[in-house]
Amino acid sequence: MNRPILALATHVTRSLVTGIVLGTAVVASYVAQGLALTFALAATFQQRGFRQIFLWIAAAAAAAAIRAVLLWLSELAAQEISRKTKERVRQRLLDKLVQLGPGHLIRHQTGDLQATIVAGVEALEAYYSRYLPAIFVAWIGCSGVVLCLLIVDWKSAVCLGASIVILVLANQAWLRWRMPSSSGVFAALGAFNAYFLDSLQGIVTLKLFDAAERRRRSLAERASILRRESMTSLSLTLMRSGITGFLSLGGVAAVLSLNAWRAASGQVTPTVLFMTLMLAREAFRPLDRLENAFHTAWSASGAVGPILDLLAEQPAIHDGGTHPRPGRTDVAFERVTFRYEATSEPALRDLSFHIDQGETIAVVGRSGAGKTTLAALLLRLFDPEAGTIRIGGLDIRQMALDDLRSLVSVVSQDTFLFHGTIEDNLRIAKPSATREEIEAAVKAAHIDHFIQSLPKGYATEIGERGAQLSGGQRQRIAIARALLKNAPILILDEATSNVDPASEAAIMDELAALARSRTTLVIAHRLSNVVDADRILVLDQGIVVESGSHDELSRRTGLYAQLIQMQEEAA
């Protein structure tokens, strides 16, 4: 019994009780069948009439038929527990991941999370549906059989009870002595899955750099560790099963030997001998079932740690805002300081600036200056270490996250498209959009001719991460998606980084027209994309070192002028 696992079982309590009752009824049917066969054998030895013998045999057959129905119902109960576990626990884990947000995903490998949510929940499902019922059925069933035997012959009951106690104590001693850390296999599985998924996602890069063979060897090493952990645990588990089987059969043999000697000396009747033989076997049957389910308990004990760790994680962002959306959409950063890790250098340092409603502000600077961090903070993917961010004069922490993010459209340089159709990916921004709205957004992003050229048009499957599209096509679909959302605040984070120069000029014209009616934050490396901005902020090491229009900044000898010179030389 594992207390942390039991703490997660509240969702299956009723189904678990049903499974225990049905399992106990199955044991009772075995006992009834054994008693019926006992009386049939006794009637045969006593040379009673065929009718009486036949009735006892019919009773045994009826017990077997009832047991078949009970086993079927028991399996249904187990499947119901399995379904509820997968549904409820996975839902809790996914809700927690959504609550934790991108900050948590950045710090963990996808493969580790996948192992926790998929393999971990599978292990818990088997624990609840198989092992837990088997524990209670073993307690109830063994105790019930010993009590039945106690009514008939107390010496046999004492011998049988002692054999059961010895088996249980031997199992506990074995678990304490030889069972390895239960997290070994699960930890190895998580490491293998994470590395394998990472390899699949980067297969093109591995091929391009002729690193596939080196990666394969590293993957084989992790697979070898997983195999070694699995085989070590399996060998110990099988050895335990052998010991349990030996003690189980030994207990039956002990009861049979005792009563055979007593029957030979006339101390018990043949009926009692047959009855003790039948009941002794039935007393150990629930323990056999428990033994068969033991490996599921071991797997769950390794899986529950990562699951509980994930559920115990506290989100960096708390969605407790209740203030209604502000009427204005001007944006203000007030003395904002932020760092990604407690020990890292600040990405932003005491940063302050203001964007008026309808104004377009461009942010430029060297890589790592903190430009993209501004967008992450405005969307509350993270909260600043110090300072306040306001929209329409309202601290964004006082708004519900859904309300906040409904105000903002984003076109990021890291475009992500989901497996599905082009229309599916566009409707993520606005599920209720009409076809006219979709076509207008697509036309504005200059991707309409390409979509119309496809045999299935908007119903074309684009593959995982948009693998069947070029980088520029993915970027333009992302732009169309942001345009379709039509939010009053627009963030353009290197929005045209993957498109050709001709398309870039046309798209920038469309975005410029769109920005005139919106509060716009443009994050750019290409300075040609920001010359028309109302104001340009130059960031360096998380602080604003220059501010002004393109003409003003280009006439100075500061960082902006240096960036212009470097880009001209590179061109």
pLDDT at 507 over 70: no
* Total number of residues shown for the chain: 571
Which helix H or strand E contains 545, and what residues bound it? strand 543-548
Task: Over range 192-205, report the average pLDDT.
Answer: 78
The confidence score (pLDDT) of residue 103 equals: 66
**Domain closes at, from 255, 283, 312:** 312
Residue 243 sits in the same domain as residue 368: no
pLDDT at 510 over 70: no
Residue 491: name the closest of 410, 414, 412, 429 by CA: 410
What percent of the chain is predicted at pLDDT more than 90? 10
- Residue 430 maps to a domain: no
pLDDT at 433 over 60: yes
In whole numbers, what is the pLDDT of the chain averaged over residues? 82
pLDDT at 1 over 60: no
The confidence score (pLDDT) of residue 25 equals: 93
Task: Over range 119-125, report the average pLDDT.
Answer: 79
State pLDDT tens for residues 463-482.
777 777 777 788 888 888 88
- SS3 category, 339: coil
The confidence score (pLDDT) of residue 191 equals: 77
Can you tell me the distance from the alpha carbon of 154 to that of 146, in angstroms, rounded to the nearest whole number? 9
Residue 303 sits in the same domain as residue 341: no
Contact 353, 415 (CB under 8 A): no
The confidence score (pLDDT) of residue 187 equals: 72
The confidence score (pLDDT) of residue 447 equals: 84
Residue type, 326: P
The confidence score (pLDDT) of residue 343 equals: 63
Residue 304 sits in the same domain as residue 255: yes
Residue with the larger pLDDT of the pair 489 and 125: 489
Can you tell me the distance from the alpha carbon of 364 to that of 526, in angstroms, rounded to the nearest whole number? 9
Residue 23 sits in the same domain as residue 87: yes
Of 312-326, 391-405, 479-493, which gets the smallest average pLDDT?
A: 312-326
pLDDT at 569 over 80: no
Residue 191 sits in the same domain as residue 221: yes
Residue 58 sits in the same domain as residue 196: yes
Q: How many CB atoms lie within 10 A of CB 72?
A: 11
Task: Over range 445-454, report the average pLDDT.
Answer: 85
State the sign of the Cα–Cα–Cα–Cα dihedral 79, 81, 84, 88.
negative
The confidence score (pLDDT) of residue 106 equals: 66
- Residue 141 maps to a domain: yes
- Residue 440 maps to a domain: no
pLDDT at 65 over 90: yes
Residue with the larger pLDDT of the pair 399 and 5: 399
State pLDDT tens for residues 352-368.
999 999 888 999 888 77
Full residue range of the structural domain in which residue 209 is found: 3-312
pLDDT at 571 over 60: no
**Domain closes at, from 312, 344, 370:** 312
Residue 388: name the closest of 13, 504, 380 by CA: 380
Task: Over range 411-428, report the average pLDDT.
Answer: 83
Can you tell me the distance from the alpha carbon of 163 to that of 24, in angstroms, rounded to the nearest whole number? 21
The confidence score (pLDDT) of residue 323 equals: 86
Residue 48 phi, psi (nearest 5): -80, 175
Task: Over range 50-58, report the average pLDDT.
Answer: 85
The confidence score (pLDDT) of residue 83 equals: 86
The confidence score (pLDDT) of residue 331 equals: 92
- Residue 69 maps to a domain: yes
Which helix H or strand E contains 82, and what residues bound it? helix 50-100
Task: Over range 303-328, report the average pLDDT.
Answer: 80
pLDDT at 546 over 70: yes
Query: What is the number of domains present in the chain?
Result: 2
Q: Domain with 562 in it: what CATH number?
A: 3.40.50.300
State pLDDT tens for residues 207-243.
777 788 888 888 888 888 888 877 877 777 777 777 7
The confidence score (pLDDT) of residue 295 equals: 67
Of 34-48, 62-76, 146-160, 291-305, which gets the smallest average pLDDT?
A: 291-305
Residue 308 sits in the same domain as residue 340: no
Residue 25 sits in the same domain as residue 105: yes
Can you tell me the distance from the alpha carbon of 495 to that of 478, in angstroms, rounded to the nearest whole number? 9
Can you tell me the distance from the alpha carbon of 30 to that of 279, in angstroms, rounded to the nearest whole number? 9
**Domain closes at, from 312, 337, 364:** 312
- Residue 411 maps to a domain: no
- pLDDT bucket at 333, cuts 50 / 70 / 90: very high
Residue with the larger pLDDT of the pair 419 and 62: 62
pLDDT at 93 over 60: yes
- Residue 262 maps to a domain: yes
Residue with the larger pLDDT of the pair 317 and 57: 57
Residue 302 sits in the same domain as residue 328: no
Residue 125 sits in the same domain as residue 44: yes
Which helix H or strand E contains 140, and what residues bound it? helix 132-152
Residue 306 sits in the same domain as residue 370: no
The confidence score (pLDDT) of residue 514 equals: 67
Q: Domain with 242 in it: what CATH number?
A: 1.20.1560.10
pLDDT at 181 over 60: no
The confidence score (pLDDT) of residue 292 equals: 78
- Residue 503 maps to a domain: no
- Residue 472 maps to a domain: no
Q: Which residues contact 83 (CB under 8 A, 6 or more apart)?
A: none
Task: Over range 273-286, report the average pLDDT.
Answer: 83
Residue 78 sits in the same domain as residue 133: yes
